[in-house]
Amino acid sequence: MTSERINQIDQVAVVVRHIPGCVLQDVCEALDITSSSAGNFLRKLTNSGTVIREHNGTQYTYTAVPGADIPDVVLPFMLDKPDPARIESAERIARELESRGLWRRAATVYTDILGLACNAHEVLRISQRRDACLRTARRW
């Protein structure tokens, strides 16, 4: 892997290769660009056959075409690694609290986990669990 300078469209392609099944927001967060710019780049990459765009029922996801000509570089966002062991451990604690009916405490743990999340998929999944706990707590 090199540290060469590449243009933004190639950076977007690198993001898509690094995060298969990513959504527009993942690209925006990884490169700190606007959604309109990211959308334009993703559209160009899709039209050129470098990226596959699919709809998952909620939003469009993007995956790099196997063997596509994408630069082999390391971008700054790739250096920020999530700590899956910490996330998994905290989620285990939250699920245990849920099983005991401690919904507000579980929601607090899920809120803490949000700080460990590194992409939009994780944030969405964790916030949905937190919201479900809070809804359940209100019913009791």
SS (H, E, C) 102-139: CHHHHHHHHHHHHCCCCCHHHHHHHHHHHHHHHHHHHH
Angle between helices 8-18 and 24-31 in degrees, nearest 10:
120
Instruction: Give the mean model confidence (pLDDT) for residues 53-67.
Output: 92
The class of domain 8-79 in CATH terms is: mainly alpha
What are the structural domain ranges in the chain?
8-79, 84-139
The structure's pTM equals 0.59
Tell me how far apart the 2 most distant CA atoms of the chain are, in Å: 57
Tens-place pLDDT, residues 21-55: 899 998 998 898 999 999 999 999 999 999 999 99
Residue 65 is given by DSSP the state P
Q: Note the pLDDT of residue 1.
A: 46
Average pLDDT along the chain? 88
Q: Would you say 97 and 117 are in contact if contact means Cβ atoms under 8 Å apart? A: no
Element (H, E) at 38: helix 35-48
110: left (phi over 0), alpha (psi -120 to 50) or beta: alpha
